[in-house]
Each structure stands twice: as structure tokens, then as C-alpha cells.
Amino acid sequence: MTAADADIKNRRRKILAAVFIVPLLVLAGLTLWGYLSWATPAALPPLRDGDIVFNTSRARQTLAVGIATGSPLTHVGFIRHKNGVPYVMEASADTRETPLDVWIETGFAGRLLVLRLPDVPAAKSAAAIRWAEKNFGRPYDIFFAPGHDAFYCSEFVEAAFAAAGVQLGTTETLAALHLTSAPVRALIGERWQRHPRCKGGQAKDADDCLSKIGALDIITPVSIARDAALVRVYSNYLFW
């Protein structure tokens, strides 16, 4: 083997080592960053009743919701305090309140975004809390459909503040979301036959069901997060 051949072989080894080592270093760095930036209630700035909190849920539908809405913000609730302890009022398995520390743990990698309506008086936040309490125990709406017999997470938050005279976020039609990816299609495939507007032979397949419900309005967590009236209080998301 000539010196030139040995040099080429040595360079190839270095390139191969870099191909494996660099991704491992990046992964290790991200893992360390995630651990060090994990949100805890004690590390947060003072929260107010009515602060709106977002995370990336670990629910089975999260991947589909994230792709459909184009955002890692897949779950939302809002803060109320009881005896000085922060709770999150939310629609999860049903409409309920959950201690903030538990709520953070149910999300992915301790991610948390806290937004605030700085110009909304405390009395309106209190009214939103009272409305939410009166609607505890309603089932989770897996169809993301209009109406208050059941709620999905962002609908529950929007409805609570609307009852207090505060508009949050903007609605869009279901058809305006990104619905073509495999995870989204799989979720639709699981649920369309039970949808109130598609069950009992009202739709012949998932595509037919979508054509019937595509014009329905939906409000997403990221739509609320993009409301210009909200200001950021805390975030450990990289790009929010």
C-alpha cells in the first residue's frame, strides 16, 4: 500500500467516524438540554389565574394532531389557583382540573408554553374559571365537532373565555388542516364510522365522511397560541 493509499484510507475512516459520532453528540446534547430545561412549577415565573398553558401531549392522537395543525402544541388548558397551588383546567379524558406539576408530567419531555392576556381583568379570568367548573365531567370530543355536549381541549379553553366575554384564537375549517399524511389518515380511519354526521350509513367511506364534515369549524391549540393579544410568560420550546 502506497502512502497515498494509506492517506485515503485514513481519511475514509475519519469520515465514517464523523458520520456516526456527530449524530450521537447532537442526540446527547439535545437529551441533556431537554433534561436541564424540563419545566417544573417551582422554576416558573409567578402565574396568574387565566394564564393559558400548552404542551405536547403524549396521547395516542398527538402525532396526527401535530401534523394536521403543523405545530408541536397539541394540548392546551388554563391556570387557576386553589390554596396557592396552580391547577390546569382542561379537556382531556373529560373536562377537569389537574395539578400543574402532574399536567407537565403528562406532556412530552417537560415542554411547556405559558401565554397571558395582559389586558384582561381578573374578573373575566374568574368568570372563565367559573364556567369551566360548571362544565366539569363532560366527555372528550374525539370528533372535534361543534357543540358543548363534549369538548376537545382548545374548544374548552375558547368556550370558557368566550363565556367571560373574551375572544381567543380564530376558527378554521377542518378541511383547511393538513389531512393527507399517514398518521392523520389512520386516525380518521379509526373514527369516521362513529362520527355523528357519518355513522349509520350516512357516509360510504372515510373520504365521503370528510367531504361531509370538512366545512365544520375547528379551533386548534396553535390558533389560540397565535392570538396577537397573548404575551409569552414562559417557554422551553426551542422555536416558540
pLDDT in tens, 26-53: 333 333 334 446 889 888 999 999 999 9
Split at pLDDT 50, 70, 90, the class of 239 is: confident
> Which pLDDT does position 1 carry in this prediction?
58
pLDDT for 6 beyond 70: no
Question: Which residue, 162, 131, 155, is CA-closest to 141?
Answer: 155
Residue 91 near residue 138 (C-beta atoms within 8 A): yes
- What does pLDDT average to over the chain? 89
Residue pLDDT, tens place only, 96-139: 999 999 999 999 999 999 999 999 999 999 999 999 999 999 99
> Which pLDDT does position 27 carry in this prediction?
33
Query: What residues are paired with 217 via a beta bridge?
Result: 173
CA distance 138 to 151: 7
Please report, as a single letter, which amino acid is at residue 27: L
> Which pLDDT does position 9 carry in this prediction?
57
pLDDT for 3 beyond 80: no
CA distance 80 to 38: 22
> Which pLDDT does position 212 carry in this prediction?
94
DSSP 122-159: HHHHHHHHHHHHHTTTPBB-TT--SSSSSB-HHHHHHH
pLDDT for 23 beyond 50: no
pTM of the model: 0.85
> What is the H or E stretch that residue 234 is in?
strand 231-235
Residue 73 near residue 125 (C-beta atoms within 8 A): no
